[in-house]
Amino acid sequence: MTQTDISLERRGIDVVRALALDAVQAAKSGHPGTPMALAPLGHVLYTRIMRHDAAAADWPDRDRLVLSAGHASMLLYAYLHLLGYGLSLDDLRDFRQLGSATPGHPEFGHTAGVEVTTGPLGQGFANGVGMAIAERHRRERFGNDVCDHRVFAICGDGDLMEGISHEAASLAGHLRLGRLVYVYDDNHITIDGPTELTYSDDVRRRFEGYGWHVDDLGESSEDLDAMEAGLRTAMAVDDRPSLVILRSHIGYPSPKFTDTADAHGNPFGAEEIAIVKELLGLPVDETFYVPDDVREFYLAAGERGQTERFEWAERVLAWKQSDPAAAAEFDASMVGRGLSGWDAKLPNFAVGESIATRNANKDVLAGIAEVVPSLLGGGADLTGNTGTLVKGLERITADSAAGRTLHFGVREHAMGAIANGLALGGTLPYVGTFFVFADYLRPAIRLAALMGTKVAFVFTHDSVGVGEDGPTHQPVEHLASLRCMPGLRVLRPADANEVAHAWHVHLDGDGPTVFVLSRQNLPVLEGTAERGIVGVANGAYTLVDASNPTKGPDVVLIATGSEVSLCVSARDALTAAGVDASVVSMPSWDLFSAASADYRATVLPPGVPRLSIEAGSTFGWERWADASVGIDRFGTSAPGDVALRDLGMNVDNVVAATNALLGR
């Protein structure tokens, strides 16, 4: 490389620093210090290391860059603009403004070139692990000609302090994910002040203990060649993940703010920006300055991967022609769907059979695994308990990743975020644990809803029916808390057939789904096989009609999950007492809300009193019911059926509540 080239590289890096300063200043908020410090690292990754093509941000075999330190978003936006990913200078001027393509933290699907939505620290760290598992799985399954890329990530002190990073790093080391290269931005600064206030971990020894390759580059954050050499050394380590430690100086080269907490999350002010620009040799009185030679340099770098992308496309086409069956699996995985006619493999369950919906889930997955080839998943040390251990699916191990059963260990926090990475990497992940532990996955569930990743979150042991484990393991408020999350499909099936229908909804739809399943056996009800096909897709349906269809019901009993069979029994008692009730199964509030008003009126006729019955918080049921039978307290330690009866989930209580609603 000539001295002219090196000089141009340096000027490009300084332009990125100035863009970060200007954007944060214009927004009057943001994080300028880290983009300034890491501008050289971003330059090395995008221009010397990574395989990517700015003209095709979604090229399946591109290298991925996860900015786990999502607050440093201007680092990403500046390079995406310069490389030609479609961000304009006006987009940078609109940083953090309403409707802009440059929100405060990067958002997947909103800005081309952003691989994953990051912001909550540590989530991106675990997302990258999921992407690396997906890459290795697909490479071993389909071959290097089809899948052969790496996952890079930039993480900071905050990411490594969050507990999720420990879980994800431990699993990555256990699986020996050799295509995973993380750069730790060791800048010694947090918002509160120096990291010494709270943090004295030996990061090198910590990650070596996980089984990672670790290379400490020391004071090399301005040395482009040293950073490139360190990254290439890490890339050559194929039998374990790598951590490259880089000592950087937040806010560099600001005389006032370098190595200070003030550089973290505040605009520098016009006076200091002018001083920095003068130090960088850039026009002091011009904002968002990009000289032509810098623009041309980066645009050329953004086009460099085009040849590799075309070559990949030719290889894939030849491979598809030579192996149509594998090609069909590959294509299905790319769009997150099953093979043509996959739903014919969904099992049917006989009326009167008694089966826990968690076990029905296992039967459904076993039935469709062959025809939904990108299904992949498991549980957090509860794979068998949650119906996510599928017979015939081999395990993913350190020695082979071609299998489709993934044991996460007791790592619920990381499991959810890894699942998001798996979905972004071209698989259809499902993950399982007890419903009460949904609290551990909540940040990942929320990000799945925000991104629209197609993840199946399978939660079992869904009520006080858990029994003897007691209130610590008996979810009561969890349904209400997840139902209020935008973009999340929540389904609590009444029986085994509704579980099959729920999977049909998930696989034919987009975005994440929460499955809420029972520990205890539930009867397979008459009508769920036939009526439930349309009914579950619409969120609710009349399972048992009124005895006098001309007159209509005196009352509608609405229930979900295990309480639907309770309502069927209560209806018989009410009929004997002269009350004509219909029974509605409502597995999904959100799907029912999305149904047409005419459809909703057929299920919940206007003017007819409605009673909801659910073994959980009654919060929110006023939307659908005039009165509710629920559990607005923590549970109790007792056998499951005893706990349910004691807390009001019994026929007598439902009949009494119905009579009270009707004024009888």
Q: Which residues contact 130 (CB under 8 A, 6 or more apart)?
A: 417, 418, 419, 420, 421, 422, 423, 424, 425, 429
Could you tell me the two tokens for 92?
A: 């940078």
Q: Tell me the DSSP string of 590-605.
A: HHHHHS-HHHHHHHS-
**C-beta separation of 185 from 154 below 8 A:** yes
Distance, CA of 453 to CA of 190 (rounded, Å): 31
Element (H, E) at 446: helix 438-451
**C-beta separation of 501 from 543 below 8 A:** no
Q: How far is CA 428 from the centre of its chain?
A: 12
At 189, is the secondary structure helix, strand, or coil? Answer: strand
206 burial (CB, 10 Å; 0-12 / 13-18 / 19+) is middle
**C-beta separation of 132 from 241 below 8 A:** yes
Q: What is the DSSP letter of 405?
A: B
At 643, is the secondary structure helix, strand, or coil? Answer: helix
For residue 329, give Cα distances in angstroms to 198, 325, 337: 49, 7, 9
Catalytic residue among 107, 115, 412, 563: 412
Q: In what order do the strands lie in the sheet with 555-559?
A: 541-544, 581-585, 555-559, 610-613, 627-629
Looking at residue 267, its amino acid is: P
Q: In what order do the strands lie in the sheet with 151-156?
A: 64-67, 151-156, 180-186, 242-247, 213-216
For residue 400, give Cα distances in angstroms to 61, 141, 176: 20, 10, 10
Peptide bond into 253 cis (omega under 30): yes
At 506, is the secondary structure helix, strand, or coil? Answer: helix
**C-beta separation of 613 from 567 below 8 A:** yes
Looking at residue 605, its amino acid is: P
**C-beta separation of 529 from 497 below 8 A:** yes
> Among candidates 156, 244, 157, 260, which has minimal Cα distance to 199?
157
> Among candidates 180, 135, 182, 149, which has minimal Cα distance to 51?
149
Q: Is 140 marked active-site?
A: no
**C-beta separation of 291 from 11 below 8 A:** yes
Looking from the CA of 300 toward its CB, the CA atoms found within 13 Å total 9
598 burial (CB, 10 Å; 0-12 / 13-18 / 19+) is exposed
Match 């550089």 to its residue by tokens.
263
Match 């954007």 to its residue by tokens.
23
Residues catalogued as catalytic: 412
